[in-house]
Amino acid sequence: MPKTAEKSEVKSFNTPEEVRSFEKGKVELVKVGGALVGRGTFQPGWKWSTCVKPLAKTKSCEAAHFGYQISGTLITAPDNGPEITSKAGDVVLLHPGHDAWVVGNEPVVVIDFQGMVDYAKKSSGR
């Protein structure tokens, strides 16, 4: 957790500090109190292993996520565990090592307070 901020701050996803786009999705980032917060938008047909894996160059998503899902339905398949389904209104904690995909025709929008520092950054080829 970042140390206590010296002053109050307000940031808006309407004017993100960084946007990382990838096939069928994007992550918008704002930095508040030293913490990076991301809003992920994943369109119908998005799947981590086909849309982000080519950028990450890892077997599965290695980011841990702690977030609030605003819309849509997402299935997450941990590398070694049962699939979970999350929907609008859910708070989700995901450990590193998973795939995920959008179910249905509604975009999935998630506010992630933990896992966006390196999410969808082009890898230098680990």
Query: Is the model more confident about 34 or about 48?
Result: 48
Domain ranges in the chain?
Answer: 18-112
Q: For CA atoms 53, 47, 62, 120, give the dihedral sign.
A: positive
pLDDT grade for 83, boundaries at 50, 70 and 90: very high
Beta strands in 33-126 (DSSP E): 35-42, 65-71, 73-78, 84-87, 91-94, 98-103, 108-112
pTM beyond 0.75: yes
Going by C-alpha positions, the residue among 126, 123, 69 that lies closest to residue 94 is 69
Q: For residues 83 and 27, is the Cβ–Cβ distance under 8 A?
A: no
39-71 pLDDT tens trace:
999 999 999 999 999 999 999 999 999 999 999
pLDDT grade for 7, boundaries at 50, 70 and 90: confident
**Is pLDDT at 2 greater than 70 in this prediction?**
no
Report angle CA 25, 123, 49 to the nearest 5 degrees. Answer: 45
Amino acid of residue 95? H
C-alpha to C-alpha distance for 47 and 7, rounded to whole angstroms: 39
- Mean of pLDDT values over 76-84: 95
CATH superfamily of 18-112: Jelly Rolls (2.60.120.10)
**Is pLDDT at 1 greater than 70 in this prediction?**
no
C-alpha to C-alpha distance for 76 and 86, rounded to whole angstroms: 8
